[in-house]
């Protein structure tokens, strides 16, 4: 259940409400979201009559939500969440396109990527500076230097930056360079970290845990929302299944399911969702047809020498080809790509 409080609720009215909840053994979490003061309450026992709360002074509205996730639920917010990142709308009618290497490797590489994106009118660049690698001996990213290179390349070509923060201790640093902060699949269940992300004002791209069910993924989003940050973008990046013919199995069914359950925008990462370059375009097209609001794609000027995820990175010409294939698919589902909009500052 969610209770929206009157903006001018008095301390006395609040105490009355808190007493009522406590006498019914109902805990609550008080927060501020989108200018509203709210109490989020875990499910009330069956037979509990919500009207007894609605009648109290200081209560604007009590909304029954049976799912464990409340603020991520469509019952809380019927209209799709949309917001702007440096003049580009996320979650609106346009499908967002983000592209770039798995990792920032050097100046020449990241500037070549940025120039390619600029030529295709793509508005978001991705690239990891801190990389979560399975092996401690593998390339871990350029760290601070990588963040600087990524920001410089983005600024030179008027792009917005999407990059991962791997640990709470790195949040302050990454925050300075990123326009959208990526939370990787391995951190989707790092709940303390997620609640800290609720305290910041930048959008969070929340990847689905590789073994997470959809309600678990929405509960992860709930941690960020309940902390006060409304700007959450979900990202399907493939889950582990029995099938080892792909690196991960991109769950295309997740897109219509998320649309049914939640108001949050949901993007697709067909690069990690397949692990193989030639499978990226078909799954990118399928994702948009199935209702995804955006794509995050790995590309590299020279994937053969990439320091990470080369086999799934598109060649620049493949990215260009994919963008032109995506346009008619977006049109069929009543949308357009954000890179069809003219200019880099729109
Ligand atoms: C990435 O985007 O480079 C990445 C490591 O993603 P994921 O967390 O989905 O594996
Ligand atoms: Mn990668």
DSSP assignment of 142-208 equals: -THHHHHHHHHHHHHTT-EEEEE--SGGGHHHHHHH-SEEEE-GGGTT-HHHHHHHTTSSS-EEEEP
Distance between CA atoms of residues 345 and 327, nearest Å: 20
Classify domain 2-63 at the CATH class level: alpha beta
Choose among 329, 234, 327: nearest CA to 286.
329
> What is the fold, at CATH topology level, of the domain defined by 83-340?
TIM Barrel (3.20.20)
Q: Distance from the CA of 346 to the center of ligand 1, in angstroms?
A: 28
* pLDDT 10s digits, 56-68: 999 999 999 989 9
Under 8 Å between Cβ of 115 and 157: yes
The token duo for 12 is: 């006395």
Under 8 Å between Cβ of 205 and 233: yes
Q: Distance from the CA of 311 to the center of ligand 2, in angstroms?
A: 10
What's the pLDDT at 146? 98
Residue written as tokens 């593998």? 138
The residues of the chain scoring below 70 in pLDDT are 342-346
Q: Distance from the CA of 77 to the center of ligand 2, in angstroms?
A: 33
Q: Do domains 2-63 and 83-340 have the same CATH topology?
A: no
Extended strands (E) in the chain: 2-5, 29-33, 36-40, 59-63, 83-85, 88-90, 94-100, 124-126, 160-164, 180-183, 204-207, 232-236, 266-268, 294-298, 336-337
Residues belonging to the chain: 346
Distance between CA atoms of residues 53 and 18, nearest Å: 10
The token duo for 260 is: 């049914």
What are the φ and ψ backbone dihedral angles of 240, each rounded to 5 degrees? -80, 130
Q: Cβ < 6 Å from ligand 1: which residues?
A: 102, 128, 132, 184-185, 207, 237, 269, 272
Mean pLDDT of the chain: 96
Give residues with Cβ within 8 angstroms of 208, minimum separation 6: 185, 188, 217, 234, 235, 236, 237, 239, 251, 254
Domain boundaries of the chain, sorted by first residue: 2-63, 83-340
Give the ligand whose atoms come closest to the C-alpha of residue 275. 2
The single-letter DSSP state of residue 314 is: B
Q: Is this prediction's pTM over 0.75?
A: yes
What's the pLDDT at 346? 47
What's the pLDDT at 344? 55
The single-letter DSSP state of residue 298 is: E
What are the φ and ψ backbone dihedral angles of 91, each rounded to 5 degrees? 80, 5
Residue written as tokens 């967002």? 96
Q: Distance from the CA of 56 to the center of ligand 2, in angstroms?
A: 52
Helices 316-332 and 277-289, axial angle in degrees (round to 10): 20
Number of the ligand 1 atom closest to the C-alpha atom of 185: 8
Q: Answer left, alpha or beta for residue 168, where phi above 0 means left and psi between -120 and 50 means alpha.
A: alpha
């Amino acid at each position: 259940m969610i209770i929206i409080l009157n903006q001018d609720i008095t301390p006395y009215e609040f105490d009355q409400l808190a007493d009522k909840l406590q006498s019914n053994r109902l805990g609550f979490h008080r927060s501020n979201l989108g200018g509203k003061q709210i109490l989020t309450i875990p499910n009330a026992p069956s037979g509990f009559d919500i009207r007894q709360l609605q009648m109290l002074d200081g209560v604007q509205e009590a909304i029954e939500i049976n799912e464990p996730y409340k603020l991520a639920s469509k019952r809380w917010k019927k209209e799709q969440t949309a917001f702007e990142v440096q003049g580009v709308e996320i979650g609106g009618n346009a499908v967002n396109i983000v592209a770039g290497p798995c990792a920032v490797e050097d100046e020449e590489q990241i500037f070549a990527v940025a120039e390619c994106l600029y030529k295709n009118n793509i508005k978001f660049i991705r690239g990891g500076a801190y990389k979560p690698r399975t092996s401690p001996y593998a390339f871990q990213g350029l760290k601070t230097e990588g963040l600087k290179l990524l920001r410089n390349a983005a600024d030179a070509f008027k792009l917005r930056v999407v990059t991962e923060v791997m640990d709470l201790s790195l949040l302050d640093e990454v925050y300075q360079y990123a326009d959208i902060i990526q939370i990787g699949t391995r951190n989707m269940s790092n709940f303390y970290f997620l609640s800290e992300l609720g305290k910041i004002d930048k959008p969070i791209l929340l990847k689905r845990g590789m073994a997470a069910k959809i309600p678990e993924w929405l509960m992860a989003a709930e941690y960020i929302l309940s902390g006060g940050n409304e700007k959450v973008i979900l990202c399907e990046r493939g889950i582990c299944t029995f099938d080892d013919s792909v690196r991960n199995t991109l769950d295309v069914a997740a897109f219509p399911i998320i649309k049914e359950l939640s108001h949050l925008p949901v993007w697709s990462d067909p690069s990690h969702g397949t692990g193989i370059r030639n499978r990226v375009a078909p799954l990118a097209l399928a994702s948009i047809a199935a209702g995804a609001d955006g794509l995050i794609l790995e590309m590299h000027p020279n994937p053969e020498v990439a320091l990470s995820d080369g086999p799934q990175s598109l060649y620049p010409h493949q990215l260009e080809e994919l963008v032109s294939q995506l346009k008619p698919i977006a049109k069929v589902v009543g949308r357009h790509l954000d890179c069809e909009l003219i200019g880099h500052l729109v």
